[in-house]
Amino acid sequence: MNNPHGEFECSVSGQLLLLSARGPWNDETMRNGVVKLSSDISKFEQGTEWAQVSCLYGESLMPPSTFDIFVKHTRVRKTRGLSFLAVVILDTDIMLTTKHQISQCYDTAEVLYGFYDTVENALQAMTNMGYNFDSEEAERFFSRFNFTR
């Protein structure tokens, strides 16, 4: 998906939902993202615990209305089995601001999360936490959908 207000790709590998995205975000892009993520989340068997690895590029910030959609959807993902979010933030001049807003969202939604310096570190953490997935497939996904500018 490409438009001036964010682009993203997502996929599933084993117990991982993979997301690569570039902000900034608006309500329309967030709603489109929710639809696509929901489709991928439906691939997890009911009652399965899974994690999400998100690689965010650029100024991945949200206005208040988009933030509210994001929190609501994060709560829904939690009810569908989301147990951990690994976040990598790249290619940005506002790392601390982005981390602060994402932390606010996940704290509000009461979902466990962690920030990692690289996709490789995030995927290794998922392995260490016992999530089952194809690491080569996950690495290919993040390599293919690298939104560095």
In this model, does residue 148 exceed pLDDT 70? yes
Superfamily of chain region 7-144: STAS domain (3.30.750.24)
Average pLDDT over residues 66-74: 90
pTM: 0.90
Residues sharing a CB contact under 8 Å with residue 29, sequence separation 6 or more, in sequence order: 1, 3, 5, 6, 8, 66
Q: Mind giving me the DSSP string for the chain?
A: ---TT-EEEEEEETTEEEEEEE----HHHHHHHHHHHHHHHTTSPTT--EEEEEEEES-----HHHHHHHHHHHHHHHHTTEEEEEEEEES-S-HHHHHHHHHHHHHHHT--EEEESSHHHHHHHHHHTT----HHHHHHHHHHT----
Instruction: Lowest mean pLDDT of 34-38, 51-55, 109-113, name the range.
Output: 34-38
In this model, does residue 58 exceed pLDDT 90? no
Q: Where are the domains of the chain?
A: 7-144
Tell me the per-residue pLDDT of 83-135, one tens digit each, with 9 for 90 and over. 999 999 998 888 888 899 999 999 999 999 999 999 999 999 999 999 999 99
pLDDT of residue 112: 97
pLDDT of residue 5: 65
Average pLDDT over residues 48-77: 90
